[in-house]
Amino acid sequence: MKHVVVVLTEPVAGREAEYDEYYEKLHLDEVLATTGWSSAQRFKLGAEQGMACPLPYLAFYEAEAPDAATVMETLTATRKRRVQSGALNRQTAGVWIFSETGPRHTGD
């Protein structure tokens, strides 16, 4: 079953450049290498409407697993194999796993 892992984060104040470097040049690839997930991409909030987004940065991963609990277990079990940057504000970060409920639609 396909799942998407959504991670909202922000840098520690004054450490934005270090945070960006860590995420883009190390963290995304380490997550893929240690979890076996298929893709990773990072986004920065550009606009919003309605309820305010709590954090400005989103990392989006695609994973295959029997269920969402297995995806979270994999993320947790492999954490010690990845570099943990002090530039990422861990106190405000959050992780959500969403499981597919239907087929993928495309504009083709």
Band of the pLDDT at 43, cuts 50, 70, 90?
A: very high
Query: Is 106 part of any domain?
Result: no
Instruction: Provide the pLDDT for residue 108.
Output: 80
- Residue span of the structural domain in which 94 resides: 2-99
41: CATH: 3.30.70.100
Query: Is 81 part of any domain?
Result: yes
- For the stretch 50-78, pLDDT in tens is 999 999 999 999 999 999 999 999 999 99
Q: What is the pTM of this model?
A: 0.93
Phi, psi of 41, deg, nearest 5:
-155, 150
Counting the structural domains of the chain, the total is 1
CA distance between the termini of the chain:
23
Residues 43, 58: Cα–Cα separation, whole Å: 5
Query: Is 35 part of any domain?
Result: yes
